[in-house]
Chains A and B, each alone.
Chain A
């Protein structure tokens, strides 16, 4: 009985799937294929190599510090960094006093200790990076109806996030003539900007970073490409400040377990030495 019902259920499910398959195939084969501009012109991120890559990766603190400067002088005008506190900057090699001085250059919302009114005060190391807009509505209103996303986790919130950031920053260009020829209706709308590394090719953010826009104290190169890499390195750090510690912990653990595995294998053979199996 179980088998009979089973076979009938099986015939029903499998049969209907095969019918669907046949109909689906017929539709698929007979209908013309429609290509879209995103499908043809979207590009995967350019290759980017950072010190944090790979199982031995750790942060190049000089580069991350430069990236922080780019964030502070350029990105922070529109993008928040809400999971990062000023105290975290100590991990970049700044002293406690430097972090305190750096925090004090930022203003965060506070209340007047006498009247209780909303006011702005200098940030303390325990404060988190301030939001550039008080709320989403303000952010939308100021940015052509697009909310600038928070950047703290950007490097983990996109596939290959660091390379994505780097490619996006360096990828602004004129819309290719072939695209307009092939897909005339896909012309970049007013107020948007063409970038082949953005999933739907047109984004609200205008090119934010230009050659020479930020000056580094140590005279490090400040062309667009170098600064974009620095910023990507900074965002890898903001996304996962514990990355270097993770790698440093992982190696002893894995090596210990490898030795343990060899020993466990020898012990297993040893226990079984007189037993056939």
Chain B
């Protein structure tokens, strides 16, 4: 009872200090609720990001010693195909003969490969248009009009340096980060 009386008096007197303090408490309580709710969203959202076991598989080693010129292998990198292709002299010449300036995504063969290993073309096997796997890495598959890769989904043609030459794909096949850990081993990722 006493408390109620005091409070009523304070309001009646228009005690601004008291009113402001009270408003502050309500605003603070509601803000705490808001901050708490926002903070709770963080784990709820981040649980959908790749889990630890998925991240742990984010690098792949490929042995390239057995790949002959003109041959390609499909490896798996982050659950996606990786094309590892040893180019023939003819394919290298064809790739270097192109006027780079005329390309949709201008890159030279040297820029698509590593120094000292210009014959090893290592790219993702994922078409940059909508993510299908292009043909051309397997034995006997269609290589498209430019002798590199051909994506049958929407007709993108890549040349022997995996550069986009014709069709809807906006960019060249992606070159993942990789390094030669020895002359015959490549570590991707």
Contacts and interface: CB of A to CB of B under 8 A. Distances in A.
Does A touch B (CB under 8 Å) in the complex? yes
By secondary structure, the B interface counts as helix
A260 interface: yes
18 contacts: A85-B53, A85-B56, A126-B53, A126-B56, A256-B39, A257-B36, A260-B29, A260-B32, A260-B33, A263-B28, A267-B25, A267-B26, A267-B29, A267-B30, A271-B26, A274-B4, A274-B8, A274-B11
Contact of B25 (A87, A126, A256, A270): A270
The 4 closest A-B pairs by CB, nearest first: A267-B29, A273-B7, A263-B29, A260-B32
Contacts of B25: 263, 266-267, 270
B11 A270 contact: no
Interface in A135-161: none
Interface of A: 85, 87, 125-126, 256-257, 259-260, 263-264, 266-267, 270-271, 273-274, 276
A87 B28 CA distance: 44
A270 B22 contact: yes
For chain B, give the interface size range: 10 to 19
Interface of B: 3-4, 7-8, 11, 22, 25-26, 28-30, 32-33, 36, 39, 52-53, 56-57
Decide if the interface of chain A is mainly helix, strand, loop or mixed. Answer: helix
Contacts, number: 44
Nearest to A256: B36
A225 B36 CA distance: 46
B36 A270 contact: no
Nearest to A88: B52
B103 to A, nearest CB: 37
Contacts of A267: 25-26, 28-30
Nearest to B11: A274
B17 to A, nearest CB: 14
A225 to B, nearest CB: 34
